[in-house]
Amino acid sequence: MELFRGTNLLEFTDYFSTEDKCYEYLASIKWTNGYVCKKCGHTHYVERDKHSRMCSKCKTTESTTSRTLLHKLKFNIRKAFMIMFEMTVSSKGLSSLQISKRYDINYKTALRFTNKIREAMQSSNKYPLSGLVEVDEFTIGSKEKGKVGRSKDTKKVKAIIGLELTKSGDKIKRVYFEQIEDYSSKSLIQFFDKKISKEAKVKTDKWRGYLPLKEAYKALEQEKSKNGENFPKIHIVIHQVKTWIRTIFSGVKKDNIQKYFDEFSFRLNRSIFKDTIFHKLVERMVAIDIKLNEVCVNT
């Protein structure tokens, strides 16, 4: 089936006008490298319908959604596609409550499904930031009275951001966020190891927690922050993610915030490939079977 391209809602609804078309699209992605029976390894099958295939040897039937994040949906597949589409092309994002009302789905069901989508949006950590990179920490949550700078307020969610810029330094290429326990070198090093190339030219402020990183990251530079004026791009993105999170829920829960970071990064990192962002998400929803069939999915 031809790859869907675009961000127009009317075009999307025309393309996926029936449930069968949604299942056909899933099948074209799930078995893009050919069918292999999960039970016996046989490669020949009988297509019972657009929803499933049956092994011609052991007669095991596998549905299009089995072993994917779309398995055992409690609502029809077309609604699932619509939700996935909106969560990828809408820059403002959607809350589970909005989705529940818009698609006539139980709130808890909507919450579980949107969290599955955010699970698919997680970075694989295969492509660390490189070139010109800026790093900073920030908090989300209520401001503690009388405290400035890196407060130890336990009510706040502490996070770190890494931002890759173009060679000219005037545009944003990619961004990663990660929730951290504190601002210690240990927490900062874990983020650097996962998200930033050793060859990157990294710029941070003069927080002492970055000092131990200079041995591994030779091109790391520290510069005193002038109220963020010399780190304009990174502070714009921090402001954007804070504003976006406030619009989709009223309270910040520490055990959920990383999922929202992943969603925000997924959209921003693919902003120049917006026409295929929905297809990329479907690939990832299907690739939950990666441990079984070693499907390779790009970040």
Percentage with pLDDT > 90 across the chain: 74
Q: Provide φ and ψ at 177, rounded to 5°.
A: -120, 155
Query: Which pLDDT tens digit goes with each residue over 40-75?
Result: 999 999 988 778 999 999 999 999 999 999 999 999
Asked if the model's pLDDT at residue 3 lies above 90, the reply is: yes
> In this predicted structure, what is the pLDDT of residue 49?
79
Q: What is the pLDDT of residues 4-43, one digit of tens each?
A: 999 999 999 999 999 999 999 999 999 999 999 989 999 9
Percent helix, strand and coil across the chain, each to the nearest 5: 40, 15, 45
Residue pointed to by tokens 């092309």: 89
Q: In the predicted model, is pLDDT for residue 230 greater than 90?
A: no
pTM of the full predicted structure?
0.87
* β-pairing verdict for 52-55 and 61-63: antiparallel
User: pLDDT confidence of 297, banded at 50, 70, 90?
Assistant: very low
By the 10 Å C-beta count (0-12 exposed, 13-18 middle, 19+ buried), 272 is classed as exposed
DSSP state of 133: E
Q: Which domains does the chain have, with CATH numbers?
A: 9-30+65-120+272-293 (no CATH), 132-254 (3.30.420)
Q: CB neighbours of 256 closer than 8 A, spacing ≥ 6?
A: 115
Amino acid 251: pLDDT: 55
Mean of the per-residue pLDDT values for the chain?
Answer: 88
Instruction: Kindly tell me if the per-residue pLDDT of 294 is higher than 60.
Output: no
Q: What is the mean pLDDT of residues 103-114?
A: 95
CB within 8 Å of 16: residues ≥ 6 apart: 4, 22, 25, 78, 81, 82
